[in-house]
Amino acid sequence: MYPGKLGVYREALRHSSSLEIKGQKSEPLIFDNERLEFLGDAVLDSSIAHLLFLRFPYKDEGFLTEMRTRIVNREQLGNLASRLGLTDLMDIHSDLRRNRAALKNIGGNALEALIGALFIDKGYAVADRFVRERLVDQYLDVEKLMETTVSYKAILLKWIQKNKMTFEFQLQPDPDKPDLKNVSLWVDGAVWFTERNANRKKAEELCCEKAVRKLDLPTH
Which of the residues are catalytic? Answer: 41, 112
Give the closest residue to 60 by CA, choosing from 198, 212, 211. Answer: 198
- Distance from chain centroid for Cα 122: 22
CB 25 within 8 A of CB 8: no
Length of the chain: 220
What does DSSP say about strands 190-197 and 167-172: parallel, antiparallel, or unpaired?
A: unpaired
Who's near 132: CB < 8 A, 6+ residues apart?
A: 47, 51
* Rg, C-alpha atoms of the chain: 20
What does DSSP say about strands 181-187 and 190-197: parallel, antiparallel, or unpaired?
A: antiparallel
Sign of CA dihedral 8, 9, 12, 18: negative
Distance, CA of 40 to CA of 12 (rounded, Å)? 10
Who's near 155: CB < 8 A, 6+ residues apart?
A: 208, 212, 217, 218, 219
